[in-house]
Amino acid sequence: MERIIDDLKQPSWWFTVILIGLGINILAAYLKPVIDKVLAKISVHHKRKNLEKQQKRKELISLLLQDRFKILEYRLTLVYFSILLVFYFLLALAFLSLMLYVIDEPQPYSLFEITLSVLFFLAFIYEFRVTHLTLIHIFEQQSILDEVSKEEKLK
């Protein structure tokens, strides 16, 4: 247990965990469409779900192509989510710092300190999850904007 607590105190361990987590999130965002296509071939439910998603995407792209101000609004939404991503990431790091600060106290740990560090860790995990979902949303919006740009160039 002492070894685990010593590892948790090391910033290099936390930066490694964060970087690997972000790498996995980015990889998952790129692999999700491929996995959806494979599942659509196997399952009728996934096929129907993918068709509905593609239909909504096409409707959104045609709506964006009809109105230049909608494109601007969509781009501003993308900027908003990018700022939100940075905020959530910093909030996750703040919770991580608070957890490390509580653990850094000399032993023995009281029940309050252990509970507080666990709560900060859970808050860190939650904020990291929200960061992941925001990142996926940004990737989806950017791919739609890329497709709109291609369609505009073809016109």
Please write the tens of the pLDDT for every residue from 91-109. 877 877 777 777 666 666 6
Q: How buried is 29 (Cβ within 10 angstroms: 0-12 exposed, 13-18 middle, 19+ buried)?
A: middle
- 108 DSSP assignment: S
Structure tokens at 8: 């948790």
The answer on pLDDT for 33 being more than 70 is yes
Top-confidence residue, 72 or 40: 72
Alpha-carbon distance of 57 to 80, in angstroms, equals 20
State which residues form the domain around 150: 2-154
The answer on pLDDT for 29 being more than 80 is no
**pLDDT tens string 61-93:** 888 888 888 888 888 888 888 888 888 888 877
C-alpha distance from residue 22 to each of 110, 131, 155 (Å): 33, 9, 38
The answer on pLDDT for 113 being more than 80 is no
- pTM, two decimals, is 0.55
Nearest to 130 by CA among 95, 85, 63, 77: 85
Domains contained in the chain, number: 1
Q: Which residues make Cβ contacts (< 8 Å) with residue 88, sequence separation at least 6?
A: 127, 130, 131, 134
State the amino acid at position 14 in one-letter form.
W
The answer on pLDDT for 25 being more than 80 is no
